Amino acid sequence: MKPSVDVIIPVYGGREALQRCLASVLRYPQQTPWRLVIINDASPDPAIQRDLERLAAGHEGVVLLENPRNLGFVGTVNRGMGLSRDNDVVLLNSDTEVANGWLDRLAAAAYADERIGTVTPFSNNATICSFPRFCQSSDLPRHWCLAELDALFARVNKGKLVDIPTGVGFCQYIRRDCLEQTGLFDEERFGRGYGEENDFCRRAAALGWRNVLCCDTFVFHEGGVSFSHEQEERIARAQEILAELHPDYQMLVEKHIHEDPALLYRTRVLLEMLRSSPRRKVLHLTHHLGGGTKKHIRELSEWLSGDMDSLVIRPVEGRGVHLVFGSEDDAPKLFFDLPAMYPSLVRLLGSLGLSRIHFHHTLGLETCLWGLPGDLGLPFDVTLHDYYFINAHPSQTDARGRYTSDLQTQVSSYPLTVSLEEWQENQKQLLYGAERVIAPSAWTVEEYRRYYPDARYLVAWHPDSEAHMPWPPTRNPVEGKRPLRVLVLGALSPEKGADLLEAAGMEARRRGLPLEFHLLGYAYRPLDAAVIEHGAYVEAELPRLLDEIGADIVWFTALWPETYSYTLSEVLQAGLPVAAPDLGAFPERLAGRPLTWIRSWQSTAHEWLEWFVEVAELLRAEDAGPFAWNDQPWPEAGPGFYRQTYLVRAPADSLPDALPEAWLEELLQQCRSAEADQGNRGFREQLLIHLLALRQGRVGRLVSRLVPVSVQRKLKRKLSRKPIHELRRE
């Protein structure tokens, strides 16, 4: 006999979310006998009560109650759970949405074993029951509606359960016999809500009841609508109470997070999402350092999100790689110890129906990965983000941080471990095998042609040019006789001109010139006070910061040939005058732009100062604009390359069979064991954190001047911090 269920929805605020929740609950018929119990907890919004009254009048099986005063979540659900002595209950937040046979599957899970007391489904926002990011909230996966995603869970993980230390209260099924034995939620201790379901689950566990994750059901949880007031205080107090009542609670949760027994079922869904996707699937390989390369992969993935699904392979400090399901930092990932696990990686990738492989960088990658195109039978591209393929030196600079074409005088943070000839012979195999070697500037191609003349080069600016061209007109912000404000943007290393900027600022101050030098970003070391530093920024804040600083002209101080420069794109979008070196991508990207000057990259600080004094007078003589930029240049690939021709290879006509569950489970165990065996870096990471914190102090800034830049960079590359998860309902 099927159980009868009361679906209890406590209501306070969030009218729009509540309407979506109720509509979803009533949309899908269930085989399980059930009724909907809605309890208005004295909502301050009278429109909510009117909505509820209309809904109850139009639907049988809806019980509408109204608390005479606000009881809070705990008191309200206790009232709902006390309406029947026989019915099971589902506690459902008013900011959730359900689909398909959600209740039938939860009920089936609840009676899969006689000692199952509570059942929680997967959700996008449910801490230890979250998908796709474990213990992190997120939106629904792109291109997937709730009904489609829930149906995929139902198909891929049919009948699968995982024991969990506690249910999560956004959607929790509780069997009546468990409720009768355990008792209602503890209203006295947990008051207006938070932690009460965790306490209940631990009390039930002490009586021999199991709390389980229902792996074949997915419920959307918006989060942040219910229980939004005094949230932080309630969380802190609830954690204290839970620690007092259940001393082993935190240990059990941490153990569960460490073991992550639901990884198999999240991964099965992730893989099937990719396999069933109609979009082309591209595997990107890159380094682990971030910067423009990382931004390009993310930008490309966003730009082509309607046509392409991205996976990323990036190395892990020490050894091995992460296979990342997406281009975001916090996307789900699996660790592979290479080369030992390379055959397993190939088999996993081979099951997904990939369309193309794209090498963005090979720094830190095991050379076995170069065999992926052949082992998977796929075409591949290479993008030249810097000059690493030439001699392992990304910037082609000497000991002073200045560009030189003489490979013998270049000094790299990544010294060759083989001869230059052997290095270039190895790189040639990759570059010559690529269907396209994509360069974001013609300068980059010319540099590479000196060493690899027969590669199939193609000059294509990054997608942000496709997105923003034509760029806005240039404007002249100079007013009156105040000093000219010269702004430098970004993270400045020696090769990006940090020392040049400081020298210019110090000489301008000494000579009393009407010039101000500003840095919006940071340098590899603290600069003299002659440079006004504004600290790091995020791109979204840049327009506001530019207005606050009142920049008159942006100066690009690079002493190495930038291959593209995303910072230049930000400035072009702002429409400010520009001074840039005749090096790298700047001349070709700025050709014909008004109020833009290309000068010798070898100019001294003194020569730059003399020129800035002249250009200040010139700008004061000009009107404010706007100055249209006619005939903006395009590179060889022309406009629309990434949108129209990048994905030239159609997906495979048919997919290989899905991976056997037993093989996948064994693989995931290997991935986790290999990652654990990679080494305990906890002490080292904490030391690095303290060192970087020390660097921010006055003494640390002085000491940092004495530490070689290469050493500072190595410390920065080694820093890796993992998020700390907390169990939360909101």
Give pLDDT tens digits for 212-245.
999 999 999 998 644 445 677 778 888 899 999 9
The residue out of 461, 493, 512 marking a domain boundary is: 461
pLDDT at 701: 42
Domain membership of residue 176 (yes or no) is: yes
**104 backbone dihedrals φ, ψ, rounded to 5°:** -60, -40
pLDDT at 652: 55
555 shares a domain with 584: yes
Q: Which residues sit opposite 487 in a β-bridge?
A: 518, 554
Tell me the C-alpha distance between 104 and 702, whole Å. 66
510 shares a domain with 455: no
Domain membership of residue 650 (yes or no) is: no
436 shares a domain with 302: yes
Report how many domains make up the chain.
4
487 shares a domain with 599: yes
Edge to edge, what strands does the sheet with 596-599 contain?
Answer: 531-533, 515-523, 484-492, 553-555, 578-581, 596-599
Domain membership of residue 392 (yes or no) is: yes
DSSP helix, strand, coil percent of the chain (3-state; round to 5): 40, 15, 40
What is the Cα Rg of the chain in Å?
30
In this structure, the number of other CB atoms found within 10 A of the CB of residue 553 comes to: 23
Helices (H) and strands (E) in the chain, counts: 27, 23
Contact indicator for 338, 321 with CB cutoff of 8 Å: yes
Contact indicator for 337, 319 with CB cutoff of 8 Å: yes
220 shares a domain with 286: no
pLDDT at 101: 98
pLDDT at 711: 56
Listed in sequence order, the residues at least 6 apart from 467 whose beta carbon sits closer than 8 Å to its beta carbon are 303
Domain membership of residue 272 (yes or no) is: no
The residue out of 224, 244, 267 marking a domain boundary is: 267
CATH number, residue 148? 3.90.550.10
Q: Reduce the secondary structure of 683-721 to three states and give it as a string.
A: HHHHHHHHHHHHHCCHHHHHHHCCCCHHHHHHHHHHCCC
Contact indicator for 134, 260 with CB cutoff of 8 Å: yes
The residue out of 593, 621, 649 marking a domain boundary is: 621
88 shares a domain with 49: yes
545 shares a domain with 409: no
Which amino acid is residue 390, in one-letter code? I
Tell me the C-alpha distance between 482 and 45, whole Å. 55
In this structure, the number of other CB atoms found within 10 A of the CB of residue 271 comes to: 18
535 shares a domain with 454: no
573 shares a domain with 430: no
| pTM (global) more than 0.75 | yes
Domain membership of residue 667 (yes or no) is: no
304 shares a domain with 262: no
Which range marks the domain in which residue 15 is found? 5-267
Q: What angle do CA 581, 587, 588 make, to 5 degrees?
A: 155
531 shares a domain with 401: no
The low-confidence residues of the chain, meaning pLDDT below 50, are 225-228, 680-704, 716-730
Q: Which residues sit opposite 489 in a β-bridge?
A: 520
pLDDT at 649: 62
Domain membership of residue 657 (yes or no) is: no
In this structure, the number of other CB atoms found within 10 A of the CB of residue 95 comes to: 24
The conformation of residue 641, written as its DSSP 8-state character, comes to I
- Collapsing DSSP to helix, strand or coil, 267 comes out as helix
Tell me the C-alpha distance between 35 and 32, whole Å. 10
Q: Which residues sit opposite 96 in a β-bridge?
A: 221
pLDDT at 359: 98
Listed in sequence order, the residues at least 6 apart from 233 whose beta carbon sits closer than 8 Å to its beta carbon are none
375 shares a domain with 352: yes
Tell me the C-alpha distance between 513 and 94, whole Å. 64
Listed in sequence order, the residues at least 6 apart from 646 whose beta carbon sits closer than 8 Å to its beta carbon are 304
